[in-house]
Structure formats: C-alpha cells, structure tokens
Amino acid sequence: MTDAQTVSDLTKEQARLELARLAALLGRANTAYHREDAPEISDAEYDAAKRRNAEIEMHFPELKRDDSPSEVVGAAPGEGFGKISHVVPMLSLGNAFEDDDVTDFDDRIRKYLNLGARRELQFIAEPKIDGLSLSLRYEGGHLVYAATRGDGETGENVTENAKTIADIPRVLEAAPDVIEVRGEVYMSHADFEALNTRIREKNAKLEADGKKPLTVFANPRNAAAGSLRQLDPTVTRERPLRFFAYAWGDLSAPLAKTQMGAIERLAALGFVTNDLTKLCDGPEALIAHYRDIETQRVSLGYDIDGVVYKVDDLGLQARLGFRSTTPRWAVAHKFPAELAWTRLEGIDIQVGRTGALSPVARLQPVTVGGVVVSNATLHNEDYIAGRDSKGADIRDGKDIRVGDWVQVYRAGDVIPKVADVDLSKRAEGAERYVLPERCPECDSPAVREEGDAVRYCTGGLICPSQAIEKLRHFVARKALDIEGLGAKQIEMFFDDPDLSIKTPADIFTLANRDAANLTSLKNRKGWKDKSVANLFAAIEAKRDIGFARLLFGLGIRHIGETGAKDLAQHFGEWSKLERAAETARPAALAWRAADLAEDAERIAAAKGGRRGRIKEVRDAAEAACNVSVVAKAAWDDLTGIDGIGASVALSLTDAFANENERAEIDRLVGMLRIEAPEAMLTESPVAGKTVVFTGKLEKMTRDEAKVRAEALGAKVSGSVSSKTDILVAGPGAGSKAKKAADLGVTTIDEDGWLELIEGL
C-alpha cells in the first residue's frame, strides 16, 4: 500500500498517481454515502484518505487536480450544514382544535385591540401545509441564502439545495432591496410514491449485491425533510420538492397593507402561493372555509394538517405582535385527531431529571395520520390501570398490558396516547402491569406519595440518570456557563469519589475540599496548578449570577431559556418567584386535574365521532378542586405572564413543591448572589422605569400598552407610589393622578407616552 509511504518520500510521479487514486476513492465514497445512503468505507477511512490527499497537495501544490477532493464543498460525510441566524426569528403557531377556539381567537384579538364586537375584522384562511419551513433571503433581487427554521433563531444553510427547487426563483424583479420570503417545502403525494418506488427498486438491486438497503420514507413530510437536508445538492435535484410562499421575514420596504395584498405581491414576484387562501370576515366564515378545505383534503395531492387563520390588516398584525414563540395575530386550526390500532410490545421506564418514573409504551410502529408512531406516553400507573387521578374510570376502566392491541390517538403535535384496548385480542395469561418499585437506573426504592400520581426514584443524587443530567444542564453554555467546566469535566468530577460533585451546589464547594482531595484533582491528566486555579476562579466568578440563567440552569421541566427570562423579568427577585410558586400550587393541581379530564373527553369524542364538550368538562373538573381565591390569583398572575403557559407554570410549582428538589434549590441559592434581570432594552428611555397607566386610553388597550411598555424594559404597576416614575393619564383619571401630583411623579397623557416611545 502506498498509503504507508511517508509523503515527503514520494516521487513526483508517485504523488500524481496517488492523488488520482485518492480522487477516485473519495469520489466513489461520496456517491455511495450521499447519493445511495450506503457507505462503502468507514468514516475513519474516509477521513484518513482526505487527510492524506491534503498532505500530498501541500507537498506538491503543482499536482493538485482540477477535481481535487479537497475542493468538494459541503459533501464530506458528517460535515453538516453551515448555520444561519435569522434576522427575524421563525416562529411557530398557536393551535385551535374546536370551533369555540376560533371564536375565542377572534374575541381575544378584539379585546386586545379594543375593537368591540361589531367593528369589522378581516382574516385570511389558508391550508397549513405539512412540510418544513424555509426562509429565502434575496438582496438586490438575488437569492443570497436559504435557511431552514432550525430552533427558530438559527437554521441550517441549505442554499445549494433550495436552488434545485423549481418553485424557488433565483432572481426577483422589482422586489424590495432586501426581502426574506418564507414558506413551506413539501413533496406531493404522487412524487412521494414515485420516489419510494425508485428507492424500493434500488433496494432490490442493493440487496442482491448484499449491500445495505436505503430507507423507504414513511410520509411525504419526512421525504421532503430528508431531501432538503441532503448534503449533496445533486441528490436534492433528483427529488421533486415544491415550495408554497406564505410569509416573510426581514424586509427593506413593506410588501402591502394587508396579508392578502402581500401574498398577491409574492405571487407577482414569481412565487407559488396557495389557491385556497381566502379572505373571511369573521369566525363563521373561517370555520366554513375550514370545513370546505377539510372536504377537499383527500384530493389536494399534498399533505395538510389544518387551516391557518391570520389577521388581514398588517397594521393590526404589528399592534398585536408576538408572544414568546407564537404570533397573537394567527392561529392554526388543526384537523381532528387520528386513531390507529397496533400492538404494545413493551413498557419502558424513563427516569427524568426530577426522578419521576415515566412509563412509555413501546409500540409496533404504525402510521397514524401520516406519521409513524412507535412510542406513546402512558403518564403514570393509574393511567395504565384505567383510572384517572380521582379514581374514576378511563377507557371504561380497561387496563393496559404488555402484548395488548391498543388504539393510538394522535392530534397535531400532541404526544401520541393510548386511547383504547381491544380486550378480545388479549393473550391468555397476560398480566396486569406493575410499575417497578425500584428505579431501573439506580435500584433505589421508587415511591409514590399519598395524593401524588407519579412514582419518584428516591435515589435523588445517587441516581445517575437524574444527577448527571441535571449537572450537565446546569453548566451548559446557556445556563451557568463556567469556563473550563463542560459536560466532559462534569462527568469526570461526578465519578471521582474524592471530589464527588453530585449536585449544582457541590460545584460551589469544590474549592473548599481538603488538600488531599484537591491533590487527586491535580494529579489527573491534564490538570495543573494553574488550570485548577483558573477553574476555581471561573466558578467563583459565577457566584454572581443572573436570575434567568440560574432559573434556566435548574433544569425544571418546560422552563427553557425564554420562559426563564420571562419569569425573571416578571418577578425580579428570587423570593417573589418562590412565594408565587408556593401560593399557586393548589390552583396548579386543579389545572392538572382539568387537563386530564379534557384529555379523556377528547379521546371519548374522537372515538364516538362527535365534537367534544371540552370546555364544560374542563371547567367542571377544575371547579371540583375548590381552590382558594389567593391560590387562584397567584396562578392567574403566573399564567398571565406573557409567554408562560399553564404547563410551564405547573412544572414550576412541581419543582418548588418537591421536597428533595426544593432543598437542593435552597442550598444552591444560599451560596449565590442572584442578580436582578436587566431591562430588556436598556437604551430605551423607559427602561427600568416604573410606569402606571390610568384613565381611558384611546389609541391602545391597557393590555397592549402594558406589553409594549414591558418590552421596552419598563415595569408596569397598577398603583401609584413613591417608586412610580411615570404616570400615563388618559381622560377620567382620578385619584391616581392626584396622588401622582402630590408625590411629584411625572404625569403625561397617552400622546406624550406614544411620543416618548416613538420609533422603538
């Protein structure tokens, strides 16, 4: 093998031959990997060949070939796509399921905008395409990049692939200088079938040659995603993808005054827009169009999963703005849930960061509404036994056993659930399922407290799956971000019996260990006096920590970065957050009870082929919990925070009510100095100021005024005190205006306020 020969020993002729051999080898490997999804050589062999090729090219630059493998862009296995951060984030949509949710949507908007019930409010309704969203940025009329949604903030650069899609123009005429067109990439049913047929034919050949077959796509959405995210654009070119334009991001000039106008403009620019987009004058017309689209669904030739409603007036859209991840001016009305029968192959137990044992159904894969489902949540042991949290029957009291035929229910993005069990197919001798009484991860007793539906591992920090997950999250970049302390070091410290870093608080006691233990750290490979000192300094520096970072770092279920920021912004002080979580607890439990009741009703309705009495059932379950006014007020305050939904609020109260978790939080908090959140927009003239609105506002509603003010970093309070900086007084302002005058608080009218925040 010439590979063995040192590059500097090669003659020029040997080098030329070797470069030719490597170009052929790597070219073949690329095709096998990217185009046929059937790698012929290992990643390690591939990398070694690529390195050797580069080394020879460096020694003999004059021999570099025109088709040099080092010039092949973006096609190296595992290299992935570049990242693009979206100038305007790509958000998702809130969901509606029932007709009532549509009227609620209209009511909410009218209330927010203070429109009254009779003022005209137009919407557009259009199909919700089941594909993947893509943002196309054009500058000076030329496509500069195409990016996937990613996490909404940062997506993948798939420009070369997007250029292969016929519906995507490369050049625009008479467009704004900067325009980002957004829409959905999808694959038609016919193209999807044809693609799978081609793959099956290829597989027959591959199998005959004893090679690994290619994956047959489960549905058009997966096929579209798999094709767009191909590292080799020539593969994407062979996959017939399409694109519907329905939205936009960054713009240097507005497209129109209305959503419909903007869509027409996009069509005039050469984009494909959806024909079923319709202007509607209210909920009734929206629902009528929804039904119409629902009946056409089977014959459209592409997958849709609902209908999207958007406020037509773009001025109103701007006023309505966004919650943390969804616009207030749009909603997705989803098609009803789908059901399918399959076999329950087993029940797995997952142990989460909080120690909760969650049973998960392992199913024989089945397609439910176009998506392959192989797992479903089983909630807890009562649910498996066929009872709800109050002991009432669910699924007519039928329990779930391994080996059973179960009916799987799926609605929109909701995690699949088991809706029913076919007792006639139950195997003889099938036994009732019993949740393990010991943690499958650490063998500690797993106990269930009186009144609690969940069984928890009592191992706490000795349970590796809880402890390590918590620690890893705690030191992550978006959480504490301690320099020199990443996931790798955490694992090492966790396993080291001398250092024994088992909890976040332990990190802050690391420097207090006795010398002998620290010697053990210093004796480790790669750790020297200096690096240990640096690590201690880095840890010390994080004793002053931002409220939101700390809260996010605790890894409480559902509390992501944005949620943590919203909570920090609202409460300002840690003790206030604690108090709110404690006070709201009974109301949180009532909400959970109502949610379970709602689920049960939804499933019953889907099975009975009727529309559910969701609201009534929910309200009744909640009322049965008989929550105090104080708890309800705390819960309303918590869930009233923009961006904080009930499940986030519930998790928060869960964490503070869990004894072990709470003790750890308190211990950690005791070691830190928590910094109050910074105002969101420090350069705004109202940042950090306390503002009170009183009297009648004429150009906006209170809600809107409050959201705007808070977005600019102000604190909005309901009463005037010496802490008030600005009173915005509309007509009819009474005692508050007087008090403000007495206290010497700056008082302005609504126009004065709008002038102050103008352009922000």
Looking at the Cβ atoms of 172 and 332, the one nearer to ligand IVH is 332
Q: Name the segment binding ligand IVH (CB under 6 A); options: 5-13, 121-129, 469-477, 478-486.
A: 121-129
* Residue carrying the six token digits 């109301």: 587
Cβ pair 410, 370 in contact under 8 A: no
Q: Between 321 and 464, whose beta carbon lies closer to ligand IVH?
A: 321
Q: 464-474 and 487-495 are packed helices; what angle lies between their axes, rounded to 10 degrees?
A: 140
Shortest reach from residue 98's CB to ligand IVH, in Å: 18
Give the shortest CB-290-to-ligand IVH separation in angstroms: 13
Q: Does 92 bind ligand IVH (CB under 6 A)?
A: yes
**Does residue 262 bind ligand IVH (CB under 6 A)?**
no
Candidates 326-334, 550-558, 661-669, 682-690; binding stretch for ligand IVH (CB under 6 A)? 326-334
Tell me: does residue 335 bind ligand IVH (CB under 6 A): no
- Among residues 249, 327, 355, 563, the one that binds ligand IVH under rule CB under 6 A: 327
With CB under 6 A as the contact rule, the residue among 57, 126, 180, 599 that binds ligand IVH is: 126
Is 168 among the residues that bind ligand IVH (CB under 6 A)? Answer: no
> Measured from the CB atom, is 133 or 159 closer to ligand IVH?
133
Least separation in angstroms between residue 59's CB and ligand IVH is: 50
Phi and psi (nearest 5°) for 372? -80, 125
Q: What is the DSSP string of 139-208?
A: ETTEEEEEEE-TTSSEEEB-HHHHTT-TTS-SB-SS--SEEEEEEEEE--HHHHHHHHHHHHHHHHHHHH
- Among the candidate windows 16-24, 122-130, 396-404, 551-559, which touches ligand IVH by CB under 6 A? 122-130
Q: Verify binding: residue 197, ligand IVH, rule CB under 6 A.
A: no
Which pair of tokens denotes residue 503?
A: 């909890």
- 184 binds ligand IVH, rule: CB under 6 A: yes
Q: Say whether 128 is catalytic.
A: yes
| Amino acid in position 641 | I
Judged by CB, which is closer to ligand IVH: 330, or 442? 330
Name the segment binding ligand IVH (CB under 6 A); options: 91-99, 166-174, 686-694, 742-750.
Answer: 91-99
Stretch of residues binding ligand IVH (CB under 6 A), selected from 85-93, 232-240, 377-385, 730-738 = 85-93
Binding map of ligand IVH across residues 217-246, x = CB under 6 A, - = no contact: -----------------------------x
The Cα–Cα gap between 566 and 641 comes to 7
- Contact 475/484 with Cβ under 8 angstroms? no
Q: Which is nearer to ligand IVH, 332 or 439 (CB)?
A: 332
Give me the DSSP letters along 476-536.
STTTT--TT--HHHHHHHHH-TTT---SHHHHTTGGGS-HHHHHHHHTSTT--HHHHHHHH
Report the distance separating Cα 548 and Cα 561, nearest Å: 8
Alpha helix stretches (DSSP H) within 31-117: 43-59, 99-113
φ and ψ at residue 162, rounded to 5 degrees: -60, -35
Q: Which of 50, 128, 565, 689 is flagged as catalytic?
A: 128
List 175, 308, 376, 593, residue binding ligand IVH (CB under 6 A): 308
Least distance in angstroms from the C-beta of 664 to ligand IVH: 36
Q: What is the dihedral of CA 223, 226, 228, 229, to 10 degrees?
A: 170
> Residue 218 is encoded by which pair of tokens?
């489960």
Q: Are 531 and 484 in contact (CB under 8 A)?
A: yes
Query: Residue 276 or 360: which CB sits closer to ligand IVH?
Result: 276
In angstroms, give the least distance from the CB of 374 to ligand IVH.
Answer: 23
Q: Residue 742 corresponds to which amino acid? A: D
Rounded least distance, CB 306 to ligand IVH, Å = 8
Name the segment binding ligand IVH (CB under 6 A); options: 127-135, 227-235, 439-447, 625-633. 127-135
Decide whether 243 or 246 has the Cβ nearer to ligand IVH. 246
Structure token pair of residue 116: 């009254």
- Closest-approach residue to ligand IVH (CB): 133
> Please, which residue, 126 or 661, has the CB nearer to ligand IVH?
126
How near is the Cβ of 315 to ligand IVH at its closest, in Å?
17
Q: How many residues bind ligand IVH (CB under 6 A)?
A: 15
Judged by CB under 6 A, the residue of 49, 76, 247, 729 near ligand IVH is 247
Site for ligand IVH in 493-552 (CB under 6 A): none
Sites for ligand IVH among residues 131-150 (CB under 6 A): 133, 149
Q: How far is the CB of 153 from ligand IVH (least distance, A)?
A: 13
Exposure string over 363-389, b if 16+ CB within 10 A, otherwise e = beebebbebebeebebbbbbbbbbbbb
What's the half-sphere exposure (Cβ side, CA atoms, 13 Å) at 277?
Answer: 20
Check if the beta carbon of residue 412 is closer than 8 Å to that of residue 305.
yes
Rounded CA gap, 354 and 455, in Å?
11
266 phi/psi in degrees, rounded to 5: -60, -40
**Any idea what DSSP says for residue 33?**
I
* Closer by beta carbon to ligand IVH, 267 or else 757: 267
d(CA 277, CA 265): 14
Under the binding rule (CB under 6 A), the answer on residue 332 touching ligand IVH is: yes
* Distance in angstroms (rounded) separating the CA atoms of residues 573 and 575: 6
Q: Please, what is the minimum distance in Å from the beta carbon of residue 235 to ligand IVH?
A: 23
Give 95 or 520: the residue with its C-beta nearer to ligand IVH: 95
Closest CA to 747 of 755, 757, 758, 736: 736
At closest approach, how far in Å is the CB of 327 from ligand IVH? 5
* Closer by beta carbon to ligand IVH, 149 or else 395: 149
For the residues of 410-429, what is the DSSP string, one character each?
A: E-TTSPPEEEEE-GGGPPTT
Residues that bind ligand IVH (CB under 6 A): 91-93, 126, 128-129, 133, 149, 184, 246-247, 308, 327, 330, 332
Would you please indicate which residues are annotated as catalytic (active-site) residues? 128
